[in-house]
Amino acid sequence: MCRCAERRAAIGRVVSSLANGEVEKARIAEAARFVTNTMVEDARALVSGARLAAARMSLRR
């Protein structure tokens, strides 16, 4: 194999690694968004529950 072919193969491996790294970063970012969205939904549910509890307490008075 000539040097040009070796260089092309090495460049191909680097590009492939970078592409795989970007895919992995995208997966991590997607997982982080999912966790964040879940936390936001949980927080909204807690606030909603707290408001409901406060409304019930005010009705009892």
pLDDT at position 13:
77
pLDDT of residue 32: 81
Residues 6+ apart with CB under 8 A from 1: 9
3-state SS, residue 43: helix
The residue segments making up the domain with residue 28 are: 3-59
Assign residue 36 a region (left: φ > 0; alpha: ψ between -120 and 50; beta: otherwise). Answer: alpha
What confidence score (pLDDT) does residue 61 get?
67
Number of domains in the chain: 1
For residues 15 and 1, which has the higher predicted lDDT (pLDDT)? 15
Query: What contacts 9, CB < 8 A, 6 or more positions away?
Result: 1
pLDDT tens for 25-61 read: 777 778 788 878 888 888 888 888 888 888 888 887 6
pLDDT band at 1 (very low <50, low <70, confident <90, very high): low
